Structure 1
Amino acid sequence: MFLEFINVKHFRNYVQTAIDLNPSVNVFIGENAQGKTNLLEAIYVLAMAKSHRTPHDKELIQWGENYAKIEGRVSKNSGSIPLELTLSKKGKKAKANHLEKKRLSQYIGLCNVVMFSPEDLQLVKGSPGLRRRFLDMEIGQIQPIYLHSLAQYQKTLLQRNALLKQTNRKAPSVLALIEILTEQLVELAGEIIARRNRFIRDLREWANQIHRSITNDHEELSIQYRSSVGEVSDETDLSRIKKEMLSAFNQVFDKEIERGLTLVGPHRDDLQFYVNEKNVQTFGSQGQQRTTALSLKLAEIELIANEVGEYPLLLLDDVLSELDDQRQTHLIGTFKERVQTIVTTTSVSGIGQEMLKDARSFYVKDGSVASVKD
């Protein structure tokens, strides 16, 4: 699949701009703080109905305006699909084929994207929250129902935490409500953990193949999902996960009452990465950590293609200059002519000539975009 064009209005620092995109490679060049990343963010928001940079949609709307609108048309094996997303104080309105979708789960997944930014190089050694977000966003676009379960879980979690924080949280009536919410959390947590585990199982296979290729078969990469119920194996079934989750809640309940906080659940889970059976987060070199992050992103592309039957869009936000020549070669060469790639950079000197060959280039300044060449 590829995005034929992108139109943005009142989005971040863009008043209005329309860009026709190359099905292969597109390069946006400009100094920092001119709007390059905002363009990639607009494409990401059009596909995912949410930003990868902020959870607050109001930050996406240009200062002084009441709404922001993003339009595009994605070309797929089944044909072209016009997409439109409008953000306002009243919420989001998503349209596909000019028809409004009542639920975002009906919209997300029509255009698949993989974003790779400098922050993703922190995916391995950064906070657990970064890795959970990685899981949630990527599973969500190939299984939109996952996002619904996750939203319900987060809503229930907030309600349970609110009760745990109440001064009368030990009152029988409050304890009864907490018990009801605990049962609801267990059901939702079971679904989330099971889906995450299946995703990691598939990602692990692709990531190890790619990692071995990058390291000339010198390194083996393994990914482990660490959940609140301990290590979850590929064979762990849903009923067992729920049973162990309920047991975990019972074990920590006194501590939760004392601290006023839910202490177990998918919101506290994490990923661990092992290179040649050593924890790369703790013992890996910076090169190994970056190679692991790159392997994850490349594996993500293959996994989505395997799931939906088409390669997703690849968005590279000023990341090539952060990679050495060997890693650049793998990032570019692996998917050349198969994946529409959209790149931002401050200088073309940070991009290999192979990437620039047949690319469409644009210059970005002060929220305006000009084509450098066709």
Structure 2
Amino acid sequence: MPSLSRLELQHFRSYRKASLQVEANRVIFVGANGAGKSNLLEAVELLGSLRSHRTSNDADLIRLGATCGWIHGWIGTDGLEHIGLYLRQRGGRQGWRNQQPLSRQMDLLGSFRCVCFSSLDLALVRGEPVLRRQWLDRVVLQLEPTYGELLSRYNRLLRQRSSLLRRHGEASPRHHLTALLDAYDQQMANLGARLHRRRQRALLRLDPLARSWQKRLSGEQEILSLLYHPGTELPPGLDVDQGNRDLVAWQEALRQQLAHQRQVELRLGTCRIGPQRDEVMLQLDGQ
């Protein structure tokens, strides 16, 4: 996987302009509080994952008084590939690759691998399940950039279906509503099963690594386990690395459960089945 060899910032956080040449495998930033060390690392995180662990508002990323900001990166030891992320004060980003605008910023994903660690990561253990789902999604995005498109499509369907459920409340489903919900259920089952499979596959690959490092750090005294609890009752014994046959079984299971829960969901106005209900469990010595 190519690495970042050069970074340039314009009107990003505290920087009016900055340039960094990465010439070693390990780089340590040293400086006084408020010097901008975290801002440099945040820029790398944003360019590599399109996310910041500190804010979800792009306006916070742009230097005070500026209307826009830039993050430029050069990839590989030769630095021949140039990527960029253009930030606007009023929202809306634009990804660039080799001086050409991209139709989707998500096409930047996979340019180089980026993993962020911070004190805020304690929330993975103590926080709500949504934080662990978001962490796992970021991991899968690094491994499979196409996952971002699947997740975006599923979340859009989820919002539309939830809005439909709330509008109709407890009213008995009429024929056109039943047909519409059937169509939503089929699409959500198709996408949801693919999300389930990718999340579980990533966690199965991470679990032995986490287990090995925890044993090493604890002097062989502790066993860490990462467990995936899907928000859908998936058929047992299916292989996440197999092809379409097992995927179809997962899709059908999700579709049937959505149909079975329909009356309850109409009454509550929310979707109770699917990847948005997933949980990632971190267990130490089985607890």
Same fold (TM over 0.5): yes
Q: 1:174 matched to which residue of 2?
A: 177
CA contact 2:45–2:52 (8 Å) conserved in 1: yes
Within-5 A mapping of 1:174-213: 174-213=177-216
Q: 2:31 matched to which residue of 1?
A: 29
Q: 1:235 matched to which residue of 2?
A: 239
SS at match of 1:93: strand
- Selected match of 1:224 from 200, 223, 227: 227
Q: 1:39 Cα shift?
A: 2.1
Q: 2:44 matched to which residue of 1?
A: 43
Q: 2:243 matched to which residue of 1?
A: none
Within the alignment, does 1:271 sit opposite 2:280 as a pair? yes
Q: 1:68 matched to which residue of 2?
A: 69
SS at match of 1:273: strand
Say if 1:90 and 1:156 are closer, same or farther in 2 by CA, change over 3 A: same
CA contact 2:82–2:97 (8 Å) conserved in 1: yes
Q: 1:104 Cα shift?
A: 3.4
Greater Cα shift, 20-29 or 147-156: 20-29
Question: 2:238 and 2:206 mapped to 1: Cα distance?
Answer: 12
Q: TM-score, normalised by structure 1?
A: 0.67
Look up the equivalent residue of 1:235 and give its one-letter code.
Answer: D
Q: 1:145 Cα shift?
A: 0.5
Question: 1:180 and 1:120 mapped to 2: Cα distance?
Answer: 39
Query: How many residues matched?
Result: 276
Q: 2:133 matched to which residue of 1?
A: 132
Q: 1:81 matched to which residue of 2?
A: 81
Q: 2:147 matched to which residue of 1?
A: 146
Q: Deviations over 1:280-313 (max 9, x none)?
A: xxxxxxxxxxxxxxxxxxxxxxxxxxxxxxxxxx
Question: 2:82 and 2:159 mapped to 1: Cα distance?
Answer: 36
Runs of 4+ aligned residues of structure 1 deviating over 6 Å after TM superposition are: none
Q: 1:56 Cα shift?
A: 3.0
SS at match of 2:103: coil
Look up the equivalent residue of 1:260 and give its one-letter code.
Answer: G
Say if 1:67 and 1:207 are closer, same or farther in 2 by CA, change over 3 A: same
Name the one with the larger strand percent.
1
**Bigger relative contact order (CA 8 A; separation at least 6):** 1
Greater Cα shift, 144-153 or 40-49: 40-49
Give the RMSD, CA atoms, in angstroms. 2.4
